[in-house]
Amino acid sequence: MDNLHQLTIHEAHKLLKDKKISSVELTEDVLNHIHSVEDKVHACITLTEEEAIRSARTADQAIARGDIRPLTGVPTLIKDVICTKGIRTTCASKMLENFIPPYDASVIRRLQADNYVIVGKANMDEFAMGSSTENSAFFVTHNPWDIDCVPGGSSGGSAAGVAIDECIYALGSDTGGSIRQPAAFCGVAGLKPTYGRVSRYGLVAFASSLDQIGPITKDVTDCALVLNTITGHDARDATTVPLGVPDYTRALKANIKGMRIGVPKEYFVEGMQAEVRSVLEVAIQKLEELGAIVDWEVSLPYTKYGLAAYYILAPSEASANLARYDGVKYGYSYRNTNNMWEAMEKTKQNGFGAEVKRRIMLGTYALSAGYYDAYYLKAQKVRTLIKSDFEQAFQNYDVLVTPTSPTVAFRIGEKVDDPVAMYLSDLCTLPINIAGVPAISIPAGFANGLPVGMQFISKHFDEESLLKVSYAFEQATDWHNQKPPLS
């Protein structure tokens, strides 16, 4: 069978279950495809070919016994910020260039229980700090729709890998839009679950009160299937909520008649590309045609403070989390000195990239004596107001719909020297992390030949509403079936 790498999870699962293909055949096809396109896309930091074939054989043995679940034997890419025992986990940083974790993240353990197949670790912005995957210490990932453009970030390698079929699905992490924005730029689906829905144990920390792991997939059905596996309470992560996990595939219904959808005007920001606005307006009109009740005049007034609050809260947490990289316990260590303090200083100076150092300095300043109340404490108060905005909106609406990004993918190098312009790329996604609510980005059309993402937001622990409305839109359109010219 040809082009097995183009399958979705649910398509691959059916073929595996019916024994029309084997996991080894599927995995070999994916690996061969990686070799044919990786030199143009650069989605992977580490390829795990031997591990992949070994896992595929194990999966085939399980399938032969009748032990098959939706992710059994299906190849995946894992963002290189998620710990994998015995497999290099670099966070795209020189600081952890040779770090091999002695344990697996909880999400990896859950995937292993389903006999998953890992084909590699995906490139990213260093320590998940960035919106373009240009901040990787190793190389830039290219957008499969236009290799002169960025794939978004920080989960750019994961999104580009899914878009170009270097895997059947991928895991990313999302601190301020790092799953949804690259999913939008690359024309795939990406879901950030509610904070506390998925364990963060084994996710290398950036901003602990904002980070969340989630799926990047080829369609909405696959998002539901991955969520079914990775969600749930974990005793190793005190922030996970002890709630039962629903079967998310039950939410995949094409009927959204009577569903209440709000359109927050603050997300159609000044500077938004006119072509992106037009695509979103047409897409929202499609939701109306499908029977949804759409209110175009919703207001979330504190949204305008989201960017400022985020860039105090996230760097503050980053400055604390990254203090552990002192060159003593693990990771890069500067040794060309007999002075302990100089060794620590040079370790951080040489081990971290420019954007990571910028955010550490921002956070350290915001937390310093005399400035804590003026910056960090005030940002926490704004966070409460933003969360309250969402809570009030969800008293009247089932979901909110917004652009995922105010622009399509920009050219490599275009914003790398302008941090503020880069930060504005996440204007539509940051408030969701601040509030801790779930959101998904799905393909909604094209502008200037590049994918446009549409974002749905729902109340805490209501991923089902996101999947329902996304699935209905997906079934009524064909955007998710479009493939990049590179494929």
Residues tagged active-site = 79, 154, 178
What tokens were used for 103?
């344990």
Quote the crossing angle between the two packed helices 220-230 and 9-17, to the nearest 10°: 70
User: What separation in angstroms does the CA of 449 have from each of 279, 283, 371, 446, 456?
Assistant: 12, 17, 46, 6, 23
Q: Are 209 and 196 in contact (CB under 8 A)?
A: no
Q: Using an 8 Å Cβ cutoff, are 307 and 424 in contact?
A: yes
Give me the residue label for tokens 């960017």: 307
Q: What are the distances in angstroms from CA 17 to CA 34, 87, 112, 116, 129?
A: 25, 29, 18, 14, 40
- Written as one letter, the residue type at 236 is R
Give the SS3 label for residue 32. Answer: helix
Write the CB contacts of 379 (distance below 8 Å, at least 6 apart in sequence). 308, 309, 312, 313, 316, 366
Burial track 228-244 (b if 16+ CB lie within 10 A, e otherwise): bbbbbebeebebbeeee
Cβ–Cβ < 8 Å for 261, 292: yes
Burial of 1 per CB tally in 10 Å (0-12, 13-18, 19+): exposed
Task: Name the phi and psi angles at 184, rounded to 5.
Answer: -65, -45
Q: What is the distance between the alpha carbons of residues 385 and 34, in angstroms, rounded to a whole number?
A: 46
Give the tokens for residue 423: 């930060």
Q: Which helix (H) or strand (E) holds 108?
A: helix 106-113
> Quick one: how far is CA 321 from the chain centroid?
20
Q: The tokens of 161 are what?
A: 């890998």
Q: What is the DSSP letter of 235?
A: T
Q: Which tokens go with 136? A: 């990787």
Residues 121 and 100: beta-carbon distance below 8 Å: no
Return all residues near 334 (Cβ < 8 A) that are at least 6 apart.
327, 342, 343, 346, 347, 349, 350, 351
Cβ atoms of 307 and 423 closer than 8 Å: yes
